[in-house]
Amino acid sequence: MWDFETEPEYQEQLDWVDAFVRTEVEPLDLVLGDPYDKADEQARRLVRPLQQQVRDRGLWAAHLEPELGGQGYGQVRLALLNELLGRSRWAPSVFGCQAPDSGNAEILARFGTPEQRHRYLQPLLDGEISSCYSMTEPLAGADPTLFTTRAVRDGDSWVIDGEKWFSSNARHAAFLIVMVVTNPEVDPHHGMSMFIVPSGAPGLEIIRDAGIGTESPEHSSHAYLRYTGVRVPADHLLGEEGAAFAIAQTRLGGGRIHHGMRTIAQMRRAFDLMLERAVSRRTRTGRLADMQSTQDKIAESWLDIEQFRLLLLRTAWLIDRHQDYRAVRKDIAAVKVAMPRVYHDVVQRSMHLHGALGISNEMPFSAMMVDAQVMAIADGPTEVHRQTLARQLVRDVAPGEPLFGSGHLPTRAAAARAHLAARLERDVAAL
C-alpha cells in the first residue's frame, strides 16, 4: 500500500501549526534576540504563553517517545511538523524541539541515570534551560578518532583537559555534553566517553565565540572552549565508559534528518519568493514568469524540492520501520548530501531573480546561502556522507564476470539464446 495522505486528525494539527507559526511565531524572529538566552525576560514573557498553547495541543517535544517525555509521533509525522517549524528561527524553541537541545535530550533520556535525567533532562524538556554539545576540536572535526581532549579518573572525579571548537550556544548553556578520550590505549571507537559538564565549572573558559557568515560579534554563538583541569563528579559520566561513539551516532543520526526536515521550510520559502517575484516583476516584454529562463528556474526548483522531500520522507519512514538509525545509515547520508545542494540551488535561483534586492541585506537570501553551506559542514562534511552512501551501496554487490561484466551485450545474447533454445527450435519446426 503506497499512501501519500496524512491522517485527517494529524492534518488538522498541521493546519493549526501552519497558521500559528505564520501569525504568532514568525513575528518573534523580527523582534527578539537569541532563542537560547533563557535569561531574556522579554522573550520569556512573549514565548511562555505560546509554549503553553503548543503543550495544550499535545505538540510539545514531539521528537521524543512518550516514555521519554515526548509525543511519540515517529519520524514521518515529525518531518511533516518540522517542515512547518523550519520557517521560523523561534518556532523550534516554541515547540520544545530546538537543536542542539533536542539531540542532547534524546541521549540524556536514553543513556542518562535517573539522577542525571532529573537534574538536566527535565529542565531542558521544560524549556527552562539551554544546553551545548561539545564534540568538535580545533584540530579535528570530520574525523573524531583524532580528538585529543582527555579525561583522567582521579578518585571520585574525572578531570578534563583540552580544547573544543564550535560548541554552539555554550554561552547560554546550563550544561555541556562533552566527548573526550578516557582510554588512549584502545581503539578510539571504544576509548572515548561522554560527560555532562555544568557550565561555570572551574577551568571551563570561552576563549571566544565565532559567528557564521557576516554575523556580528554579539550574535556570534559558536564557542571556542578551553577545558583546563575541569573536574566533574564520576556520576557525570553519560552512558558507559568508552561508549561515546555509539551515543554520538544516536544523536547525530536523528539530528541530521531533523535538519533536513527544517531545511525544506527554507527551500519552500525561497521558492515561494521566486514565484511571487516571477509574477510581479515586469520588463518591456512582459512578466519574468513568461520568460523561458525564469520558467527553467521555477521548474528545476520545484523538481529539486519535491525530489528531496520524497527522499527525506522515505528515510523518515524507514527510521520508523527499523527503529534504529544504524539500519538507515545509507538513507540518512543521502539526505545529508542532497540537502545543502538543493538548498543552495533553489536559494541561488531565487536570489538571482530578485536582482539587487536579492543580494541586499534587506532580503533573507544571503543568510540562506550561508545556511546552505552550514548544512554541508555541520554534523559532518558532504564528502564523508557521500563516502558512507557509496560504501553502503557497494557493500553487498557481488563482483561480475571478470572479463566483460554482466552488461556485455554479446554475452547476454548468447545466454538468452541458450535459455530459449528449446522454445526457439519448436517455433522454427512449426514453420
Ligand X SMILES: Cc1cc2nc3c(=O)[nH]c(=O)nc-3n(C[C@H](O)[C@H](O)[C@H](O)COP(=O)(O)OP(=O)(O)OC[C@H]3O[C@@H](n4cnc5c(N)ncnc54)[C@H](O)[C@@H]3O)c2cc1C
C-alpha span between 186 and 294 (Å, rounded): 58
Footprint on this chain of ligand X (rule: CB under 6 A) = 100, 133-136, 141-142, 166-168, 212, 222, 374, 377-381, 383-384
What's at 367, amino acid-wise? A
State in angstroms the smallest separation of the CB of 387 from ligand X: 6
Q: Report, in Å, the least distance between residue 178 CB and ligand X.
A: 9
Least distance CB 251 / ligand X (angstroms): 10
Give me the residue label for grid cell 554579539: 218
Cβ within 8 Å of residue 19, ≥6 positions away: none
Nearer to ligand X, 157 or 220 (CB): 220
Rounded distance between C-alpha atoms, residue 282 and residue 279, angstroms: 8
Q: Which is nearer to ligand X, 76 or 212 (CB)?
A: 212
- Of 144 and 191, nearer to ligand X (C-beta) is 144
Q: Which three cell numbers stand for residue 113?
A: 541515570
Specify the DSSP class assigned to residue 398: P
Cα Rg of the chain (Å, integer):
26
Cα(261)–Cα(80) distance, rounded to whole angstroms? Answer: 8
Q: At residue 138, what is the residue type?
A: P
- Which single residue brings its beta carbon nearest to ligand X? 141
Minimum Å gap between C-beta 389 and ligand X is 13
- Smallest separation, CB 375 to ligand X (Å): 9
76 or 108, CB closer to ligand X?
A: 108
Quick one: cell of 422?
528449446
* Distance in Å, CB of 425 to ligand X, minimum: 56
CB of 62 or CB of 212, closer to ligand X: 212
Look up residue 103 and give its three cell numbers.
539531540
Nearer to ligand X, 222 or 309 (CB): 222
Cell of 372: 546552505
Alpha-carbon distance of 21 to 353, in angstroms, equals 27
Q: How far is the CB of 413 from ligand X (least distance, A)?
A: 42
For residues 65 and 24, is the Cβ–Cβ distance under 8 A? no
Q: Of the two residues 34 and 379, which places its CB atom closer to ligand X in the complex?
A: 379
CA-CA distance, 153 to 180, in Å (whole number)? Answer: 12
Residue 280 or 387 with smaller CB distance to ligand X: 387
- Identify the three-state secondary structure at position 274: helix
Distances (CA, A) of 228 to 155, 159, 162, 164, 232: 18, 9, 7, 11, 12
**Shortest separation between residue 99's beta carbon and ligand X, angstroms:** 8
Which secondary-structure segment (H or E) carries 179?
Answer: strand 173-181
Instruction: Report how far residue 35's alpha carbon sits from residue 176's, in angstroms, rounded to the nearest whole number.
Output: 17
Query: Which CB sits closer to ligand X, 13 or 134?
Result: 134
Q: What is the rounded distance in angstroms from the CA atom of residue 141 to the CA atom of residue 207?
A: 18
* Residues in contact with 266: Cβ distance below 8 Å, sequence separation at least 6, in sequence order: 86, 87, 343, 347, 368, 371
Q: What's the closest the beta carbon of residue 374 comes to ligand X, in angstroms?
A: 4
Smallest distance, ligand X to C-beta of residue 417, A: 46
- Minimum CB distance to ligand X smaller for 99 or for 351: 99
- Residues whose CB is less than 8 angstroms from the CB of residue 72 and which lie 6 or more positions away in sequence, other chains included: 64, 65, 66
